[in-house]
Structure formats: C-alpha cells, structure tokens
C-alpha cells in the first residue's frame, strides 16, 4: 500500500479534479515541513509518498522521521523549492529507503558553515538512499547541494542532478565525508556540476563515479579518491561542454556523447526523462537525434508517483 499526500498552495489543491485529490488520499499540506511532520509515528503502509503540486518555500529545516522501516518517497514533480534556512533544507534521518527527486532547489541564505547543505544525510544508521533528478541553484550562497556523512550501511545513489553557482571553500557540489562507514557503496553517476568551489569532494567512503561532468570549479572539479567506472569528464571548461552555461542551459555538446552504460540498475533515463540508450552520455542530460532536450524542460508529473 502507498500512503500519498500533496504539498502546495490552496489554489493548486482546489484546481485539482476530485480524482486527482483522491489520488492523494492522505490529504493536502501547505508546505513540505508539515507534510513530513504529519507522517504517522508507527508506519503501516509500504511506501509514504509526498508529492508537490506547486512551487513552495522551505523556511524550516525538514527532518525525515528516524526509526522508520518503511520507504519514504519525496517528489518535487518539477516544482521549485526556495530554501530559506541557515541549516539544512532536507535532512535524511530515516533508517529505510528514502528517495528525494524532481525538485528545483534555490538557495537564498548562506549556511552557517560549509558542511551544511540542501540535502543532508547524517543518520548513523541504514537504508538505501536515492537522490536524483534534482536541480540545485546554489545562487551564490555558501551551501552544498548534497552532503553525506556517517551512513553506516546500504548503498547511496546520487545521479542525474544539475548543480551550479556556489561560493565557499570545498563546498557547492556533492560532498562525501564518511568516517564511520561499515558496508555499502556510494554510486555517483551522470551529474552535471558547474561554477561551484569543489564539484565532487570525497573524504572517505567507498565511492564509484561514472559519467559525471564538472566544469569551472574554482577549487577543484573533483577532489579525493574513488573507483572510476568510466565516462567522467573533469577537464573541460563549461564553454566546451555545454550549449550556454552562462544562461544555465546545460544541454551538452556532442563532445559529451562519450559515457558508459549506467551502473545503477534503476537509472534508465536522464534528467528530463529521456530513455537512456547508446550512445551513452556524460552529465545529467543527453541529446537524442531530432530532439531538443535542454535543462529545465521536464514535463511535470504532478499526480503519478515515481515508484
């Protein structure tokens, strides 16, 4: 069974048909914080799905519930979340599978220090994690897109994210800082990172990278040891890699049509939902012959859970 709830404005909720309201059987919430806080203390359904139906603000640090043994699926459905906290936007504390995907996050406040982030995994526990198909406009603030630390077991999958425009030493992109890892791997695949301090910063953990492109980072495009599964591009400038990075159009140039087959089993399409097929690609976006497939052109899947 899937327990579904909607997040968005009252106007967006009222605009839904009754059938679509019924799809969100657990009701409507005005913001993500109250929707997640209202998850039952003792979960009985198999999946708890939180789906956005409009743009919204994140004004309070959001914590997924600890002690859960059921899957939590948080889907931005292509909508924008304005991040207005000095701490984390979403902190994953759940000891079970968690998916966070489909958001455009915009950072509006500098963080307290460079270990703060939009998505933060620091739980000293277990559970597979999937952070994918998100766009992070760090907006010139001191902020990381994704920061992972102290996840004891199970794999973490970070893929098809677009990250850009940050300041602050060793911050901005994907930061793996793991001192207590027991088992499990970090799979970092098909991410597009541009114009931050450090694109992918690896400080411990068993990380496997493939098909990532990181450009024009003021400290480093990549720092730290990892297993190279192929297709990574850390030497190109943004001008050589993308159609128009100055306008945040990260449609790849043909030079990026050189990736390898995805390692992550669930990774079957790109950021925009285009199915992956040969020739494989580097970064979060692919180009198919005769198809325009640029950044931020996703069709909003408002009512169907990505299960």
* Mean pLDDT (10-residue bins), the chain, 307 residues: 96 96 95 95 94 96 91 97 94 94 95 85 85 95 88 90 82 79 84 94 88 93 91 94 92 85 84 82 74 45 41
**Res 149: pLDDT:** 84
**Res 290: pLDDT:** 38
Pairing of strands 90-92, 56-58: unpaired
**Res 143: pLDDT:** 85
Contacts of 123 (CB under 8 A, 6+ apart): 66, 92, 93, 94, 95, 150, 151
- Give backbone dihedrals phi and psi of 246, rounded to 5 degrees, phi first: -60, -30
End-to-end CA distance of the chain: 12
- Tokens 């060793």 belong to 170
- Calculate the dihedral angle through the C-alpha atoms of 215, 105, 107, 141, rounding to the nearest 10 degrees: -10
Residue 45 burial (10 A CB sphere; 0-12, 13-18, 19+): middle
Q: Within the chain, where are the H helices? A: 10-14, 18-23, 32-37, 238-241
Calculate the CA 94 to chain-centre distance. 16
Sign of CA dihedral 147, 72, 184, 67: positive
- Give backbone dihedrals phi and psi of 89, rounded to 5 degrees, phi first: -90, -55
Residues 31, 2: Cα–Cα separation, whole Å:
20
pTM of the model: 0.93
- Tokens 């109250």 belong to 34
Which one-letter DSSP state was computed for residue 275?
A: B
**Res 119: pLDDT:** 96
42 three-state secondary structure: coil
**Res 303: pLDDT:** 42
- Give backbone dihedrals phi and psi of 33, rounded to 5 degrees, phi first: -60, -50
């Amino acid at each position: 069974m899937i327990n579904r709830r909607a997040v968005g404005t009252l106007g967006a909720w009222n605009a839904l048909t009754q059938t679509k309201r019924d799809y969100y059987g657990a009701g409507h919430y005005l913001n993500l914080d109250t929707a997640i806080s209202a998850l039952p203390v003792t979960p009985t359904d198999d999946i708890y799905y939180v789906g956005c139906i409009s743009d919204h603000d994140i004004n309070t640090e959001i914590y997924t519930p600890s002690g859960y043994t059921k899957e939590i699926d948080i889907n931005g459905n292509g909508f924008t979340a304005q991040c207005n906290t000095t701490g984390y936007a979403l902190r994953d504390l759940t000891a079970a599978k968690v998916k966070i995907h489909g958001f455009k996050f915009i950072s509006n406040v500098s963080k307290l220090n460079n270990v703060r982030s939009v998505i933060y995994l620091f739980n000293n526990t277990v559970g597979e994690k999937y952070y994918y198909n998100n766009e992070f406009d760090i907006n010139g603030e001191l902020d990381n897109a994704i920061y992972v630390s102290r996840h004891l077991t199970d794999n973490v999958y970070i893929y098809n994210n677009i990250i850009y425009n940050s300041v602050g030493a060793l911050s901005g992109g994907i930061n793996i800082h793991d001192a207590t890892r027991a088992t499990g791997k970090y799979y970092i695949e098909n991410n597009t990172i541009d114009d931050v301090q450090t694109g992918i910063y690896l400080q411990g953990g068993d990380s496997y990278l493939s098909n990532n492109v990181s450009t024009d980072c003021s400290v480093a495009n990549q720092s730290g040891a990892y297993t190279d599964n192929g297709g990574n591009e850390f030497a190109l400038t943004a001008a050589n890699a993308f159609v128009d990075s100055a306008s945040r159009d990260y449609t790849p140039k043909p030079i990026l049509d050189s990736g390898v087959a995805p390692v992550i089993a669930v990774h079957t399409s790109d950021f925009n939902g285009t199915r992956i097929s040969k020739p494989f690609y580097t970064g979060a976006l692919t180009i198919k012959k005769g198809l325009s497939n640029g950044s931020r052109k996703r069709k909003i899947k408002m009512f169907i859970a990505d299960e």
